[in-house]
Structure 1
Amino acid sequence: MIARGHTRIGGRPVDAARLAAGNMEVTLLSYGAITRDWRIGGRSIVLGYDDPADYGDDPYFVGVIAGRVANRIAGGRFMLDGMAVDLPLNDGPNHLHGGPRGLGKRFWEMEEDSGANSVRLTCVSGHGDGGYPGRARFEVVVRLSETRLTYEIRAEVDRPTPINLAQHNYYNLTGGSLAGHELQIAAAEALAVDAGGIPTGKRLAIADTPLDFRTTRALGEPVPQADLCMVLSGAEPAAVLSAPGAPTLSFFTDQPGLQLYTGEHLGGRFRPYSGLCLEPEAFPDAVNHPGFAPIITFPEAPYFQRLSIEVA
């Protein structure tokens, strides 16, 4: 069910949709295609603002669909067809999650499909919007069953342009410390980054380091500092998150990378390290690394990403 005009952000109405199945309930907003809440057995397992209007000023990308290009682009610049493209900077000297007016700060159209227990969100970004070339039409279909929450994300463009989207929930399965949360990630490597979080082009072996989650283990105290793209091995599930007395989430994705962010820089109503991001994505700054899989989307080859989270 969609509640039209649930709140207002920047003077514009924002709709809210609620999906329910079994003991699960998900609330979505038409601003930022945000997952505002996900409850299992009455307990919220993602961070969110009590007042949905607060998302208008949120600097942490809580629950959004991040893009047009998620993660960082070095210096906010890349070359496309021999021409330099300059993007606004919003992370020091770099461009992050589509810039200050990325998809997470846009108003989306929302419609429900009660037969499929799903919500479709659409947003059109014009040529030059946010500095990006080309017109792009984005679509996110969120579907809930008794055992799964699924995001299917598409983009159609009218000319070659980079697209790399990421669903940006912060997970906390207990409402308390992350220290007791147990994590498994199917990755033996991460992308090495510089001090600004920009990939160097090299891969970092993480075996026997605090970031080695090939075998399920607790995050521990203190929670490790992490904001790295894990190089997924292709094994399924890509990641598993659990905690004593809480549901277990298994993440299935078609993306090559998974950004692991332990919430070091959270603030405001959120404590640092109070939420964990597991963001399936293409490799960050791929537009500036010929050795990474390309993220240029073409009119004849639309963008598609599928994230399915199984609950047990």
Structure 2
Amino acid sequence: MNISKHAFGEYEGKTVDEYTLTNDNGISISVITFAGLWRSYTDGKTNLLLNSADLENYTNNPFFAGRIVGRIGGRLKDGKFTLNGKEYQVDQNEGNNNLHGGSNGFSFQIWDAQTSQDANGVSLTLTKTFTPEMDKFPGKMPTKVTYTLSNDNSVTIDFTATSDADTLFNPTSHAYWNLADEGTDNILFHTFQANADQHLEFDDEKIPTGNLLDTAGTPFDFSKPTLLKDAIDGMQNTTEKGFDDLLVVKPSATDSVATLSDPASGRSLKIYSERNGLVIFTANSFDDSMTYNRGVAHPYEAVALEAQTLSDTPHHPNFGDVTLPAGETKSYKIRFEGTF
């Protein structure tokens, strides 16, 4: 096992470091301290993650590429929610709505970092304390995000927080995946399977209406491995011409909620989550303002798979509870099993 660190660039006058963790099998991951951003998951030949060598491609990125997201993932209608009878107004950073915790959330911070290792693997722990003055959410919230690369080659991201006042906590990872050989610049010939029988209905602002729609017989039916090209072809009559949607999955720590595979290379990715939502975003709106390891950004270059509790839950209690009560500690884990 090995841990290395080097300077990756500078953001707002502060150094951004990159940490690379390598297990006993030669599998490694790299994470930078800006946005807790996951840059690589590789066997030394192929990186399963969409990434860039240029920090500016991340700091100016409107698609949250690779970043950790919080205090909440997804969209919050009108940037408003009520806790204990009090209404809170947070950032409206996407039209009328709050997206991914706002413009000063997890995804816009430089985090403190510490590494460790044991017989089973290597870890990077990122820490940051969030306050209402930073992101407008209630509560002073010390937060810890730990990436662990195990010797079984899996990666677990553990999000843990405590708050001194009731607040919201629904973090996720916004990593983008392309499992194909390095010369392949799209995920159209990947297959995708998810244990979801329903997905959320959205309004024109991508805010949930509260309705759950059955996936059977629609492009959202991923009950068996489905070629993404076929599913995306079925979405060409939509505004997005692809997926930017939330599947209602069956939470499990022992059974994967989703599997992404590239039949041509034989690589695959299984995702485990004990929360009930999985965003699938097929990069439909990527444009040429960014450049990645898969080339100039373009639609379908990669796919984001964001495990979380269904979004906008304060307005739809049946979606789940993302409240972090004062004085309690909550942890959410997402585990990724990559096969190279």
TM-score (norm 1): 0.95
- Is the contact between residue 15 and residue 110 of structure 1 (CA under 8 Å) also seen in structure 2? no
After TM superposition, give the deviation of residue 221 of structure 1 in Å: 5.3
- Is the contact between residue 249 and residue 310 of structure 1 (CA under 8 Å) also seen in structure 2? yes
Distance 2:244 2:115 in 1: 34
- Is the contact between residue 27 and residue 36 of structure 1 (CA under 8 Å) also seen in structure 2? yes
Code of the residue aligned with 1:9 in structure 2: it is Y
Distance 2:251 2:18 in 1: 35
| Percent identity between the two aligned chains | 26
Code of the residue aligned with 1:195 in structure 2: it is D
**In structure 2, do the counterparts of structure 1 residues 214 and 221 end up closer, same or farther at CA, with 3 Å as the change threshold?**
closer
Superposition pairs of residues 252-271 of structure 1, within 5 angstroms: 252-267=272-287, 268=289, 269=291, 270-271=297-298
1:130 alignment counterpart? 135
Distance 1:285 1:279 in 2: 15
Distance 2:91 2:59 in 1: 19
How many residues are treated as equivalent by the alignment?
A: 312
Of the candidates 37, 40, 49, which is equivalent to residue 40 of structure 2?
37
Code of the residue aligned with 1:260 in structure 2: it is I
TM-score (norm 2): 0.88
Code of the residue aligned with 1:180 in structure 2: it is F
Q: Which secondary structure does the structure 2 equivalent of 1:291 belong to? A: helix
Q: Where does the alignment leave 5 or more consecutive residues of structure 1 unmatched?
A: none
Superposition pairs of residues 200-279 of structure 1, within 5 angstroms: 200-220=209-229, 223=232, 224=235, 225-234=242-251, 236-244=255-263, 245-267=265-287, 268=289, 269=291, 270-279=297-306
Code of the residue aligned with 1:123 in structure 2: it is K
Distance 1:139 1:126 in 2: 14
**In structure 2, do the counterparts of structure 1 residues 125 and 234 end up closer, same or farther at CA, with 3 Å as the change threshold?**
closer
Q: Which secondary structure does the structure 2 equivalent of 1:55 belong to? A: helix
Distance 1:246 1:137 in 2: 41
Q: Please state if 1:182 is matched with 2:191.
A: yes
2:145 alignment counterpart? 140
Code of the residue aligned with 1:275 in structure 2: it is A
Distance 2:307 2:314 in 1: 17
Distance 1:33 1:283 in 2: 22
- Where in structure 1 do 4 or more consecutive aligned residues deviate above 2 Å? 1-6, 221-224
Deviations 1:196-241 (CA, angstroms, capped at 9, x unpaired): 1111111010101111001112112583511111111236210001
Of the candidates 17, 20, 37, which is equivalent to residue 18 of structure 1?
20
After TM superposition, give the deviation of residue 2 of structure 1 in Å: 4.2
Code of the residue aligned with 1:309 in structure 2: it is F
**In structure 2, do the counterparts of structure 1 residues 163 and 234 end up closer, same or farther at CA, with 3 Å as the change threshold?**
closer
Q: Please state if 1:67 is matched with 2:70.
A: yes
After TM superposition, give the deviation of residue 133 of structure 1 in Å: 0.8
**Aligned CA-pair RMSD:** 1.6
Distance 2:277 2:231 in 1: 25
After TM superposition, the structure 1 stretch with the greater mean CA deviation from structure 2, 217-226 or 22-31, is: 217-226
After TM superposition, give the deviation of residue 72 of structure 1 in Å: 0.2
Deviations 1:142-185 (CA, angstroms, capped at 9, x unpaired): 11124211111111111100111011101011143211101100
**In structure 2, do the counterparts of structure 1 residues 23 and 212 end up closer, same or farther at CA, with 3 Å as the change threshold?**
farther
Of the candidates 92, 96, 106, which is equivalent to residue 93 of structure 1?
96
2:203 alignment counterpart? 194
